[in-house]
Structure 1
Amino acid sequence: MPSAPVYGLVLAGGRSRRMGRDKALLEHEGRSQLAHAMALIGRHVERVFVSTRADQQQEPERARYSQIVDRYDDLGPLAGILSALDEHPEADWLVVACDLPNIGDDTVANLLANRSEDHPFTAYISSHDGLPEPLCAIWRAGTAGIVRQFADEGVHCPRKILIRSQTHLVEQTDPASLDNVNTPADLASSVLEAAS
């Protein structure tokens, strides 16, 4: 069994440009997608944090939780991941995007049960394209140097980092659990509702 503690990071620092509104605040059954993700991940890890940009720290929904503020500009979700790896290098990080309305305990538990000590990353295989799913993945303790090297080389896409690395890949047990909501069309076909 891997010995590093596992912390959770819910990525909620994006600008939601394609959606046109803050995806973290979209609601389902009376609570935000951020609240859903924080509660879900919190059931499986020692500590859970929300990843935010500096200008989001005081937003009321994000302010309810322990935060890791992006230390890097213009890296997209990689800014949050790298900031977490820097802030708590002792931990393995379960990284989950806030816009996965169908994710549940089984998906999280299965990924954690398959966490590899022999690989820097553990990720599900996408049911859509067979590539690693970086935004429901485990980024191991001590990988900040690897991630930073990719960023310095201009590779800012978390998926590309997992593709180019020795990533332990796990079969999905529920492919729909990792379908995300990026656009108004995705929202219309999802269980989420726009917060008023």
Structure 2
Amino acid sequence: MLRSCLLSGGDSRRMGRDKALLPHPSGGPWLERGLRRLASLGRPITLCSRHSSHLALAAGLAQPLGVPLDCFEEPPPSRGPLRALARLMHRHPDDAILLLMPVDMPWLETQSLRQLLEAADQHPHQFCLAHDGQRLQPLLGAYPNTATLRRDLEDWLALDHRRLHGWLDRQPVLPVRLEPSQLRNCNHPHDWPHDGPAARPDKAAGP
């Protein structure tokens, strides 16, 4: 069984405000758009976040999404996507593949997600990860979830390794070439021209 997982636990320091709650031109915040993109695949979804505002927003969308939604509040300490992946793998041991997607790829379309699923169907024992033609984008990809991999990842984390790329160097990775424009991350205000002044909060009220 495959489960979709939306990663939304970052601090958005470079953006200066919570990226997951930025308004998207298609309607709703980025978080809602990400959940709806994953829901279009018809698979169960887990939202992984340590932000109560994200979890509350997702809970209100659970019924309209039309697929089972698990809102997972990631406990401290927060140590990046590698620790989040380990927690998701242990939370869903019966799901053979976890499709990871970050909340900060607001241009991503469903077809790219389907391409990753097709690659995973054909290569179930490989890490089918998005590639933009220049480098891997490992926060978007289909990850096998086996007991052996869970143990290997825990051993890796126990050595205080935190880089996702470092662990992936030990794994059978299959790059899946996707449309580069859909894989752009938004990390700074100038990366997101759709967020006009009217949508910006008061400086005093900002995070």
> Structure 1 counterpart of 2:163, which letter?
C
Is 2:91 aligned against 1:87? yes
Is 2:103 aligned against 1:106? no
Is 2:18 aligned against 1:16? no
Paired residue for 1:49?
46
Which residue of 165, 175, 192 corresponds with 2:171? 165
Task: Note the residue ranges of structure 1 that are not aligned, 5 or more in a row.
Answer: none
Q: How many residue pairs end up in the alignment? A: 185
Q: CA RMSD in A?
A: 2.1
Output one character per residue of 1:38-75: Cα deviation in whole Å (capped at 9) or x when no partner: 0111121420111111x526753244353122245231
Q: Normalising by the residue count of structure 2, what TM-score does the alignment of the two structures yield?
A: 0.80
Q: Normalising by the residue count of structure 1, what TM-score does the alignment of the two structures yield?
A: 0.84
| In 2, Cα distance between equivalents of 1:105 and 1:24 | 18
Paired residue for 1:184?
189
Paired residue for 2:67?
none
| In 1, Cα distance between equivalents of 2:38 and 2:195 | 18
Paired residue for 1:150?
156
Task: Note the residue ranges of structure 2 that are not aligned, 5 or more in a row.
Answer: 63-69, 202-207
What SS class does the counterpart of residue 31 from structure 1 fall into? coil
CA 171–46 in structure 1, closer or farther in 2 if over 3 Å, else same: same
After the TM superposition, which of the residue ranges 91-100 and 132-141 deviates more from structure 2?
A: 132-141
Paired residue for 2:141?
137
Which residue of 119, 128, 134 corresponds with 1:122? 128
CA 43–192 in structure 1, closer or farther in 2 if over 3 Å, else same: farther
The structure that has the greater radius of gyration is 2
